[in-house]
Amino acid sequence: MFHGTITALLTPFKNGTIDEEAYRAHIEWQIEQGVNGVVPCGTTGESATMSHSEHESAIRICIDQVKGRVPVIAGAGSNNTSEAISLTRFAKNAGADAALLISPYYNKPTQEGIFRHFKAVNDEVALPLFVYNVPGRTGSNVLPATQARMARELPHVIGCKEATANLVQISNILEQCPEKYILLSGDDFTVLPTYAVGGKGVISVTANVLPALMSSLTAACERGDYAEARRLHFRLEPMNRAMFAESNPIPCKTALSLMGRMTGEMRLPLCQASESTVDLLRTLLAQYGCFA
């Protein structure tokens, strides 16, 4: 159920509020282009600057627009365990297929604390859970041994979004966890090598802009056509790099704005892309045929 290209959805804003029309259109375009799932209210969706009511609204809109055609993995993480439980419970009641929970940030828990955080959510809400491990944003790393312990002892923890871009760690997680554990790349750069060692897909930023191309890459991996997968990997790399020319989701939302699919509106402390990034994106979008 959870595999292939899963888009970490942008949240369009207009005049300070969620632009529901653009959001629904973006979700619909993603499905039309062949993605295998969507994630509302993650890092790329600017969840950090959304109110609880906006967070809930974005998830409801997404689930309603998807109408069961692809899985919805709702962002539900927090560094406050009780808040993470509440957000996960909401995701379940709203009809999400799973929840994505970032490991607690800022307060930098120990590995035992991280385990207990996920155990608390696991024990309170019967919903498939994905660990979102992104040390560059959280200040701590969910180590392979901790993920293996979760996979063995917490029945609702079914996989992870591994955003370390560390292929040794990715390999170690897959080696130590049960075979059913679903490892999804959290970095568009590492989709191909992640598949090569047993990963199942990607939660992708780049898919917001190039959903069909990213979907073709994961499909090639899944059918074992690694010659085609390598070709698509290198085809995507310039855009993968551009998506992180500045802090995500600044370049991604700027690209969709240039394509006329949503405004480029972001919330502070995120701000508009630099002129050099805009020029880079405009050039790349033309090369990828993104302009009519």
| CB atoms inside a 10 Å sphere around CB 93 | 11
User: Each residue of 160-215: pLDDT tens digit?
Assistant: 999 999 999 999 999 999 999 999 999 999 999 999 999 999 999 999 999 999 99
Active site residue 226: no
Interatomic CA distance for residues 231 and 249, integer angstroms: 26
Span between the terminal Cα atoms of the chain, in Å: 34
Active site residue 132: yes
Dihedral angle of Cα 207, 246, 250, 88, to the nearest 10 degrees: 70
User: Each residue of 234-272: pLDDT tens digit?
Assistant: 999 999 999 999 999 999 999 999 999 999 999 999 999
Q: Which residues contact 290 (CB under 8 A, 6 or more apart)?
A: 209, 210, 255, 259
Per the residue annotation, which of 14, 23, 161, 180 is the catalytic one?
161
| Beta strands 182-185 and 157-162, pairing class | parallel
Q: For each of the domains in the chain, give its residue range(s) and CATH number, in order of start.
A: 4-223 (3.20.20.70)
- pLDDT, residue 291, reads 78
Per the residue annotation, which of 92, 105, 106, 132 is the catalytic one?
132
| CB atoms inside a 10 Å sphere around CB 219 | 17
27 close to 245: Cβ distance less than 8 angstroms: no
pTM of the full structure: 0.95
